Chains A and B, each alone.
Chain A
Amino acid sequence: GESVGLHLPTLSVQEGDNSIINCAYSNSASDYFIWYKQESGKGPQFIIDIRSNMDKRQGQRVTVLLNKTVKHLSLQIAATQPGDSAVYFCAETGDYKLSFGAGTTVTVRA
């Protein structure tokens, strides 16, 4: 069936280092792939998206890479800060449906 999932449930990173969060997807028909961040006690918040016909997109301190050959999506966070500690979800959308993966918990060490 269709699903969006993540490789690792947790990631611990030293403050100032770069973080890489990975995601595997199975629905090649999705129009967009998206990353969301969820802080404790809150709803998810949009970080960045990438259209299915693109390979890379950069935002402020974040880069999303899409490898359609192996159905892999990644989020790179540069110079990770304590405020980046959260759960990160990849998601996909197509035909108005928005589906999420299981999430990776990122902990930033001081």
Chain B
Amino acid sequence: NAGVTQTPKFQVLKTGQSMTLQCAQDMNHNSMYWYRQDPGMGLRLIYYSASEGTTDKGEVPNGYNVSRLNKREFSLRLESAAPSQTSVYFCASMDRGNTEAFFGQGTRLTVV
């Protein structure tokens, strides 16, 4: 049972490049989340998806787009990367009616 899998684990981008962070969960959870974690800032919610077919903005959505491809997969896209998007990105999933979210190992993204 893999839980939540994020790819890639590390990525370096040049300013203006685009990329997609992938996330997949095998727990049949309805809700999925994307967070970024910066030193001293905690986890900030970028986007979330309450169920397949729905997505909603979180606290810091600017510069990002998401796709809930199916129940398992929730991807995060940076269309034109900026140095301010250098961060560690976490994907999480949570079952409906539950409060225990399961997190991936994170993607460390550096934009130069």
Contacts and interface: CB of A to CB of B under 8 A. Distances in A.
B92 interface: yes
A79 to B, nearest CB: 24
A34 B42 contact: no
Q: How large is the interface on B (under 10, 10 to 19, 20 to 34, 35 or more residues)?
A: 20 to 34
Contacts of B101: 36, 44, 46, 98
Q: How large is the interface on A (under 10, 10 to 19, 20 to 34, 35 or more residues)?
A: 20 to 34
A97 B94 CA distance: 10
Given A96-B48, A97-B56, A98-B33, A46 B99 contact: yes
B42 A101 contact: yes
B58 A44 contact: no
A98 B93 CA distance: 10
A16 interface: no
Contacts of A98: 31, 33, 45, 48, 92, 94, 101
A44 B105 contact: no
Given A98-B48, A98-B92, A100-B35, A44 B43 contact: yes
B58 A97 contact: yes
Contacts of B40: 9, 102
A99 B31 CA distance: 13
Interface in A84-110: 89, 93, 95-103
Contacts of B33: 98
A89 B42 contact: yes
